[in-house]
Copies of this chain bind each other. A is one copy, B any other.
Amino acid sequence: MGISKSHIFSHQQNELALAAKVLANPARIAILEYISKQDSCICTDLVDEIGLAQPTISQHLNEIKKIGLLTGTFEGKNLCYCIDQEKWYALQSLFATFFSTITQNCC
């Protein structure tokens, strides 16, 4: 089917899966890392930096934006893509909680 049965899972399980889906692509990892490395909001050279076509980068940025991980100005020329700190910390906490709750060892 290609679509997961999200209705049979909890909100938290779906939320974690959706967040993981955004990270489940090396280009988006690279984009996030590159944006965070910049001193200022220079985001025009992502295409040169990453090595993918401009429409592809634009789509990846959109995926990241959809879960609220990007903030800044989103109109016209010379955009300012930055990582939304609040959302970032929320995701960090979400993953940290998940990893720390699974600690049982039975084998």
Within the assembled complex, what's the spacing in Å between the Cα atoms of A17 and B28? Answer: 9
Which residues of the other chain, B, contact A92 by a CB distance below 8 angstroms? 99-100
Which residues of the other chain, B, contact A72 by a CB distance below 8 angstroms? 107
Within the assembled complex, what's the spacing in Å between the Cα atoms of A102 and B50? Answer: 17
| Size category of the binding interface on chain A | 35 or more
Beta-carbon contact of B107 and A41 below 8 Å = yes
The secondary structure that dominates the A interface is: helix
Of all chain B residues, the one with the shortest Cβ separation from A14 is B26
Of all chain B residues, the one with the shortest Cβ separation from A37 is B104
Beta-carbon contact of B107 and A71 below 8 Å = yes
Beta-carbon contact of B8 and A40 below 8 Å = no
Beta-carbon contact of A13 and B33 below 8 Å = yes
Chain B's nearest CB lies how many Å from the CB of A25?
Answer: 5
Chain B's nearest CB lies how many Å from the CB of A1?
Answer: 10
Residues of A within 8 A of B (CB): 4-6, 8-10, 13-14, 16-18, 20-30, 32-33, 36-41, 50-52, 71-72, 80, 82-83, 85, 88, 91-92, 95-96, 98-107
